[in-house]
Amino acid sequence: MNKILVTGGAGFIGSHLCNRLVAAGNDVLCVDNYFTGDKRNITHLLANPHFEMMRHDVTFPLYVEVGQIYNLACPASPVFYQQDPVQTVKTAVHGSINMLGLAKRVKARILQASTSEVYGDPEVHPQHEDYWGRVNPIGPRSCYDEGKRCAETLFFDYWRQYRLLIKVARIFNTYGPHMQPNDGRVVSNFIVQALRGQALTVYGDGQQTRSFCYVDDLVEGLMQLMESPAECTGPMNLGNPSEFTMLELAEQVLKLVGGVSRIEFCPLPTDDPRQRQPDITLARTQLNWQPRVALEDGLRETVAYFRQLLRV
């Protein structure tokens, strides 16, 4: 049995990770300040003797005894991370410094939930881990993009300087139950709009692409990366290489939800990437991992979750 800390554990991905870790027989300490996390995501775990919840902001030091740390704490959608961009940078950078310091003190291995946004609006397609990216350092999204890039720098400096056991996962677009209905992500946007009979807002001409990974697949990848040999540090892309345009996604959601919603085109946001597709060769070869849930099946589960949440 491991004692495992999950920061951001009440959030979308973090809550699914807590579920899996507890089910595997681990003692899990979930830490969250509830800026984007939701208590409803982890309420069912509170009675479990192997689960503990702590309200805490990772920009402040934390003193606990654990063997592994999953650092997921950070708002991850533009709506939330642009609400308080200075705090977003602090969470990414100060939060990483605090969690790395904790890992160093207790000799824990630590996994950083990085992001495909470190590639910016890429000139290379699909994106592989050796690509350094094309990020606007002063744009409205840079608080998140550059915050995560700096966090990766810190992790690898701790690895080089202190030989800390680190893992860095670059997470591509992920979807599934426990997403916030107002988080501004394209999957939740389309589903909520369709369920409410509203127009589905497609930005630009809808030909920009994303690759959508169901949350169960992503969590499996994170856990496998954490348990991989010490020399497997990453950074490692985790995502689904199947690429879809925004129009294709909108049509799939309309097919599953039904109703009378139409598609409405809006101006493209600043610094919105035109293409996003992971090269997961590294994950396939080092972890024997690849996504298994098809987009239609994952969307069906996500639609069912939002129907119940919104009661529509």
Active site (catalytic) residues: 144
CB atoms within 10 A of CB 86: 8
The position carrying tokens 């982890």 is: 42
Q: Are 252 and 296 in contact (CB under 8 A)?
A: yes
Alpha-carbon torsion (71, 290, 124, 187), positive or negative: negative
DSSP 134: B
What whole-number distance in Å separates Cα of residue 185 and Cα of residue 175? 9
The three-point CA angle 226-302-148 to 5° equals 40
Q: Which two tokens stand for residue 187?
A: 């999957």
> Rounded distance, CA 125 to CA 135, Å?
15
92, 74 in Cβ contact below 8 A? yes
What is the rounded CA–CA span in Å between residue 304 and residue 53?
A: 27
Structure tokens that stand for 55 in this block: 């309200």
Mapped onto helix, strand or coil, the DSSP state of residue 150 is helix
According to DSSP, the β-strands at 174-175 and 213-214 are: parallel
| Cα 133 from chain centre | 18
